[in-house]
């Protein structure tokens, strides 16, 4: 019986050694796994912190982009308003230009007609001036004739006065002779 017990003790010791070895191996594996778990936990923590930082950065970037987008939308609205104003102004200028073109065309037509009328008036005036010059020339000629006639009449008148004076003198002499 002792040998059976000894055998059983030996078996138990061997099993205990095997269990102790298994325990040591499992403890070692557990220790390795714990270290890996710690490492992975730290890595996860670092990754989460990094992800939080990235998320915060992204939130800031999104916020900045939204503000910039607001500014750009405002700028776009202002530019669209300016464009609309410029289009209205362009339409108004086109209308004014069209009106001015019509006025210019009318003025050019009026000017052309006025030029033709002035040509006709100048032509008529030239004709009238030529007629008046002819009349003036005729009157100058008539005046020269009238001067000559007046000169002749004045000469005749002087001669007549002289003749009358001579006659008066002769009459005086006759009366004096008659009286004698």
Residue 73 placed within a domain: yes
* 58 falls within a domain: yes
Q: How many domains does the structure of the chain reveal?
A: 1
Domain for residue 160, yes or no?
no
Residue 33's pLDDT is what? 93
4 is a domain residue: yes
User: Would you state the structure tokens that stand for residue 39, as one six-digit string?
Assistant: 């490492």
* pLDDT band, residue 5 (cuts 50/70/90): confident
pLDDT at 3: 80
Calculate the average pLDDT of the chain: 92
Does a structural domain hold residue 162?
Answer: no
Residue 175 lies inside a defined structural domain of this protein: no
pLDDT value at position 9? Answer: 87
Q: Does any domain span residue 130?
A: yes
The pLDDT score that the predictor gives to residue 1 is 61
Q: Is pLDDT above 70 for 46?
A: yes
Spatial separation of the C-alpha atoms in residues 162 and 154, rounded to whole Å: 12
In a domain, 178, yes or no: no
Count the Cβ atoms, other than its own, within 10 Å of residue 88: 10
What domain range includes position 8? 1-144
């Amino acid at each position: 019986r002792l040998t059976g017990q000894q055998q059983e003790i030996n078996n138990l010791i061997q099993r205990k050694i095997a269990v102790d070895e298994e325990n040591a191996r499992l403890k070692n594996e557990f220790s390795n796994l714990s270290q890996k778990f710690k490492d992975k936990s730290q890595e996860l923590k670092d990754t989460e912190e990094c992800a939080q930082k990235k998320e915060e950065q992204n939130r800031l970037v999104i916020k900045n982009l939204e503000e910039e987008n607001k500014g750009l939308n405002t700028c776009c609205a202002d530019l669209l308003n300016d464009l609309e104003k410029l289009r209205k102004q362009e339409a108004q200028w086109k209308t004014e230009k069209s009106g001015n073109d019509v006025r210019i065309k009318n003025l050019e037509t009026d000017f052309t007609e006025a030029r033709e009328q002035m040509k006709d008036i100048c032509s008529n005036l030239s004709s009238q001036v030529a007629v008046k010059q002819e009349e003036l020339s005729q009157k100058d000629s008539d005046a020269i004739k009238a001067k000559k006639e007046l000169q002749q009449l004045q000469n005749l008148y002087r001669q007549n006065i002289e003749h009358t004076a001579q006659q008066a003198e002769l009459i005086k002499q006759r009366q004096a002779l008659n009286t004698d």
